[in-house]
Amino acid sequence: MSKNKMPNPWYIGVVSGMASYIDSAAIVSNGTALVIYQKTLGITALEIGMLSGLLTLSIAAGAFGGGRLGDRIGRRNVFIITMAMILLGTLALAFGASFAVLAVGTLLVGLATGADLPVSLATISEAASDENRGKIIGLSNLLWLVGIGATMGISAIVGDWGRVGAQIMYLHVGLVALVLLVLRWSIPESPLWLAARDELRRGVATVRAQKNGWRDLLEAKYLWPFISLCAFYTFTNLAANTGGQFGTFVAVNVVGISVSTNSLWGLLILPVSVASGLLFMRIVDTDKRIPFFIFGAVMMSGGYFVPVLLNFSPLSWFCCLLFTNIGTGFAFEGIMKVWAQESFPTMLRATAQGVIVGVARLTCGLLAFVTPVLLSAGPTVLYCLLTAIVVVGMVIGWLCFHGKQRNEFNAETAMVATPDARHDVNDTQRAKA
């Protein structure tokens, strides 16, 4: 165990949870800044598409690798390195003048952002208790929304400033990373990870020490929640990501409202998302978690189907935005993070979370290539498909987690049978005591 005194878990929750802020801020900033660079630096539409795709794929790759790295070398080492990478990447994006430099910056930001998320969530969950773990993890989801709101606000101010405006948007992300780099030095390594590493080094046969490899995710106890979370988050993320990427296109070309009107509606509904997130924090550590999840699932899936029922009218579109934003507060990213952190032992926690995020982001990136084809067949086809995949994802999530609440934190110190344990019974018994 670490001799350093652990800071308040809420402090750790904010400093670590800002990974979600950077995730959303980087994506939103990149989408706007690249359009500005098209006019000021002369990058082409093809290059914009390549850089956007690179960001999505590098976030996925970072999540796959970063989660595993966090379980192998420690949480603190990884989430300090990631902030340094984001700082360097945003500087390249802000001051680079060629496609090659912009590509390097995008790669650094994407890999670091993806790697930081699973490791930061593991840090948060291991610093918290059963009474506040869900609340603090839920806070990270609110920070994701704050990142969107802050970036949209900055964009509204500097969006017409030419290249300087784009530079400010990228440097905003870099400045946050710099502040977090400093603050994260004050957070010691996770005591649970240190304990697991020590037990592994000494050959103590606890669950958290022995369950530490990819193969262990395929064991019966972990396989079902692992597969369920991959499916749940991938399906729900496909709908949310597609709506985010192509929603403005549908709003303008099908619904018949302006870009500014659609953006204004989004800003008006943002406080509703925040309110849903705050309510989620209140109920997530109680027995009301599943009832609210069901409510959120109905709101989110129903939201995508409303435009189909009402022929993509302005009213149906507003209801779509409103209902999906309410639903995501209870049945999307926040609950996924809580379930993932509760379902796996210490040396698998970041690995599993990273794979879950990586699979979802990779699938979303691939779907983006065929979404225009689906739109060409008509928005009704696309939104029926989005409704269907959300329903399937929600059903899978409910089937896995509607019963007794999983809590691997209370089970990971149990002993398991290993060849070493059979030859060292006395040691393991002392460790158990």
Nearest residue to 338 via CA among 195, 237, 241, 233:
233
Low-confidence ranges of the chain (pLDDT < 50): 1-3, 421-433
Domain identity same for 179 and 206: no
Say if residue 44 is in the same domain as residue 65.
yes
CB 392 within 8 A of CB 269: no
Token pair 């029926």 is at which residue? 384
Three-state SS sequence of 312-372? CCHHHHHHHHHHHHHHHHHHCHHHHHHHHHHHCCHHHHHHHHHHHHHHHHHHHHHHHHHHH
Q: Which SS3 state, helix, strand or coil, does residue 415 take?
A: strand
Calpha distance 354→116 (Å, rounded): 9
Identify the pLDDT of residue 421: 45
- Which of 156, 189, 222 is where one domain is finished? 189
Residues 85 and 204 both lie in one domain: no
- The reply to whether 1 falls in a domain is no
Q: Name the strand (E) or helix (H) holding 240.
A: helix 220-250
- Look up the domain containing 269 and give its range: 196-433
Residue after which a domain boundary falls, among 158, 189, 220: 189
Is residue 184 located within the same domain as residue 69? yes
Q: Give 82-106 pLDDT, tens digit per residue.
A: 999 999 999 999 999 999 999 999 9
Amino acid letter, residue 101: V
Domain count, the chain: 2
Amino acid at 412: E
Q: What is the pLDDT of residue 418?
A: 54
CA atoms within 13 A on the CB side of 309: 11
Q: What is the CATH number of the domain that holds 41?
A: 1.20.1250.20
Half-sphere exposure of 48 (CA within 13 A, CB side): 15
Whether 109 and 89 have beta carbons less than 8 Å apart is answered as yes
Note whether residue 2 is domain-resident: no
- pLDDT tens-place string over residues 327-337: 999 999 999 99
